Amino acid sequence: MTCGADTDICGACLNDKPEWDKLFCAADYDFPMNTLLHDFKYRGKFWLAEPLTSLLSEKITQPADLLLPVPMHWQRRFFRGYNQSALLTRSLAKMLKTKWCPDVIKRIKATPAQRGLKRSQRLSNLASAFEVRNDVLPPHIAIVDDVVTTGSTVSILCQLLRQQGAQRIDVYCLCRTAKYRDI
């Protein structure tokens, strides 16, 4: 699934192919997953990482050689106390018996939260926000995130990883919203 739809490829992906090769998600961003995810991300219920990634691991047929979390700027991580994507990545790597590395991609620019922004605003917000810190990457990589809304964040990361030679990039996420929903 390219965008996470229930078909191999949808019309929107044929028209505007995403930067990644396949997207695997546990569920749509609806009740009860949205509530669980909110509790995990904003209410400090980090113990939910394992049961949530268990749902996701069932969807992944050929795990990537290396899992990479979406990085969080150090200031945001300081205030939240943890990077939810890193917790998910660590748990998922253990379940899939594959490697993960929290510092291949670094967030070098603090940006306003993406929540509530339209896709074009999100892309602008993320310009020059990341850097890849490792130039030796395996051929198959997966980016792990909690929610894929417009795909802006993972698109930017895919572009950077492709510049470093990544051949296949998958996206593993707990939830996705409707593709290209203009929120």
CB 141 within 8 A of CB 64: yes
21 φ, ψ to 5°?
-90, -45
Burial of 146 (0-12, 13-18, 19+ CB in 10 A): buried
136 DSSP assignment: -
Residues 18-50 have pLDDT tens digits of: 999 999 999 999 999 999 999 999 999 999 999
Residue-level pLDDT at 123: 73
- Which residue do the tokens 């795990």 mark? 63
User: Can you give the pLDDT at residue 91?
Assistant: 98
Domain range list for the chain? 23-176
Start-to-end CA span in the chain (Å)? 23
Name the fold adopted by 23-176. Answer: Rossmann fold (3.40.50)
